[in-house]
Amino acid sequence: MIQIIMKLTKRNWSLHKKYLIQLMNIQLYLKTKHFWHLLDGVQLKKRYFYGPLVFWEVTFIFWLQIFNLLKMTKFTVLTVF
């Protein structure tokens, strides 16, 4: 997934650098045992993994960031996938 995003961002790296950093941070959250709450990009409180609720919350934020990145590059989700 990161490779696809890297291909999209080669044209305008400075515009999408912050989105790539956010996506990589979310991937790190998925691999750890605890999560930081990701509202407005601020780490509000530490939350321990206690079930699928946190997993789906982080997954939703992950795909939301990908959608925002694709929207900024004027690509649709169907053309990439």
SS3 letters across 57-75: HHHHHHHHHHHHHHHHCCC
More confident residue, 78 or 64: 64
Cβ–Cβ under 8 Å, residues 69 and 16 = yes
Q: Check pLDDT > 60 for residue 52.
A: no
For residue 78, what is the DSSP state?
H
CA-CA distance, 49 to 67, in Å (whole number)? Answer: 25
For residue 61, what pLDDT is reported?
72
For residue 65, what pLDDT is reported?
74
Q: What is the mean pLDDT of residues 4-31?
A: 59
More confident residue, 1 or 60: 60
Cβ–Cβ under 8 Å, residues 77 and 67 = yes
